[in-house]
Amino acid sequence: MAREFSRTDRVSQQVHKEIASILQNEFKHREPTVGMITISSVDVSRDLAHAKIYVTFYGSDEDKIKEDLVRLQEAKGFIRSILARRIRMRAVPAVHFFRDESLTEGIRISTLVNEARAKDNEKAGKDEEE
């Protein structure tokens, strides 16, 4: 019988859970000016040596988001050390933070679609009048 989840999937889920907790508790105390951060997803490499952590920033402008991402990158050693204490693995993956822009991109595309529909409806209304 095959396993339902691979080891990388299980490690990804555990790293996701622990990093979210670390950002909410320990990192917030260290960097109180950082805005609200959530973890979108975590991709762990097959050799479990690296973890790509995709984060979403809420309620901030572009400059603040870039500044917060830099602070997160600077604190990755601190975050990894706490992660090493929480998960039981021989080697803890190196963490790499990336901004997840799927939410903002989805909103942008939705806005474009709504604008296109509104223009089509205007055009259809003008065509009926003529």
**pLDDT tens digits for range 67-101:** 888 999 999 999 999 999 999 888 899 999 999 88
pTM: 0.76
Would strands 36-44 and 50-58 be described as parallel, antiparallel, or unpaired? Answer: antiparallel
What's the confidence (pLDDT) of residue 89?
85
Mean pLDDT across 6-26 = 90
**Residue keyed to tokens 């991709």:** 43
**Is 52 a residue whose pLDDT tops 90?**
yes
Q: Determine the Cα–Cα distance for residues 69 and 81; give it in Å rounded to an integer.
A: 19
